Amino acid sequence: MSTFMPAPGAAPTGRLIAAQTTYEIRTLLRNGEQLLLTMIIPVVLLVLFGATDLLDLGPGQRVDFLAPGVLALAVMSTAFTGQAIGTGFERRYGVLKRLGATPLSRSGLITAKTLTVIAVELLQAALITAVALSLGWHPHGDPLTALLLVLVGTAAFSGFGLLMAGTLRAEATLAAANLVYVLLLVLGGVLFPLDEFPSGVRTALELLPISALAEGLRQVLQHGAGLPARELLILTAWAVTGLLLASRFFRWE
């Protein structure tokens, strides 16, 4: 009997998604640029500004202000920047098209990508938490509330990351995703408190998803607040808009 005697059949859906997720996590953790973006930059910022007084971060322990902002930055770097660039190039190189010819469905692929983002975020959170604790961080509040904010924030960033990857050329996605990352890092209340901006500008900046996530996490983890309704609402609006636009305009090739 020949090796190639036809014996077609798809693996069970769970196995398909598990295989794709494992593959994506492995390749991501091997990718130097991705690690720089998702692990090294957040940790360096945390250590640099947490251990020195280069920035005036207002009253209280510097790390208590910084850690929630850096967690928000980590979520954005993985769900938005990393995912947009990675998926953009997969589209450009015909990888999405080729996977589309296999039994892995489009929804299976998106599920695998989402699981990958969550897995990487767990690693980031563990790393950032460990470093922050070593700098004297005293987190407060309900961890589940923080988790809810992170999940909605992830949905918001993923929606826009995929929208960019699925509509722009790969090079344009690369440039734009990095630009957005830097702009939101500076303007989004990650490292610098938004109170330093004039009040009109500040009100606008507070509507950014990164500001909402950073501020929401800060209210919970720094001040021990309950559910920050305003921030959650802003993030939900971004998530719904981003995911709707992505599902409407994403082109697979």
Give the shortest CB-100-to-other proteins separation in angstroms.
Answer: 7
Q: CA-CA distance, 91 to 165, in Å (whole number)?
A: 8
Q: In the structure encoding, which two tokens stand for residue 78, read together?
A: 């993985």
Q: Does residue number 103 form part of the binding site for other proteins (CB under 8 A)?
A: yes
- Using the contact rule CB under 8 A, the part of the chain among 44-52, 95-103, 124-132, 242-250 near other proteins is 95-103
The residue within the footprint of other proteins, chosen from 41, 89, 129, 243 (CB under 8 A), is 89
Of 145, 115, 149, 153, nearest to 239 by C-alpha is 153
* Closer of 96 and 208 to other proteins (Cβ): 96
Pick the binder of other proteins from 52, 53, 59, 101 (CB under 8 A).
Answer: 101
- Residue 7 CB, shortest distance to other proteins, in Å, is 4
d(CA 36, CA 198) in angstroms, rounded, equals 33
Pick out residues in 209-228 that bind other proteins (CB under 8 A): none
Q: Which residue has the tokens 């995911």?
A: 243
* Residue 21 lies near other proteins (rule: CB under 8 A): no
- The only residue of 23, 136, 226, 230 in contact with other proteins, by rule CB under 8 A: 23
60 lines the binding site for other proteins (CB under 8 A): no
Residues 106, 117: Cα–Cα separation, whole Å:
17
Q: How far is CA 202 from the centre of its chain?
A: 23
Q: How far apart are CA 203 and CA 156, in angstroms?
A: 20
H or E element, residue 221: helix 209-221
Query: Going by C-beta distance under 8 Å and a sequence separation of 6 or more, which residues neighbour residue 215?
Result: 189, 194, 206, 228, 231
Binding footprint of other proteins, residue count (CB under 8 A): 33
For the chain, the maximum distance between any two Cα atoms, rounded to a whole number of angstroms, is 77
Is residue 5 within the footprint of other proteins (CB under 8 A)?
Answer: yes
Shortest CB 18 distance to other proteins, Å? 9
Residues 121, 105: Cα–Cα separation, whole Å: 24
DSSP 166: H
Nearer to other proteins, 94 or 226 (CB): 94
For other proteins, the binding residue among 20, 81, 145, 173 (CB under 8 A) is 20
Identify which range of 1-9, 56-64, 137-145, 161-169 contacts other proteins by CB under 8 A. 1-9
Residue 196 or 253: the one with the smaller Cβ distance to other proteins is: 253
Q: Scanning the structure block, which residue is given the tokens 């929606």? A: 159
Residues engaged in binding other proteins (CB under 8 A)? 2-11, 15-16, 19-20, 23, 26-27, 30-31, 89-90, 93-95, 97-98, 100-105, 253
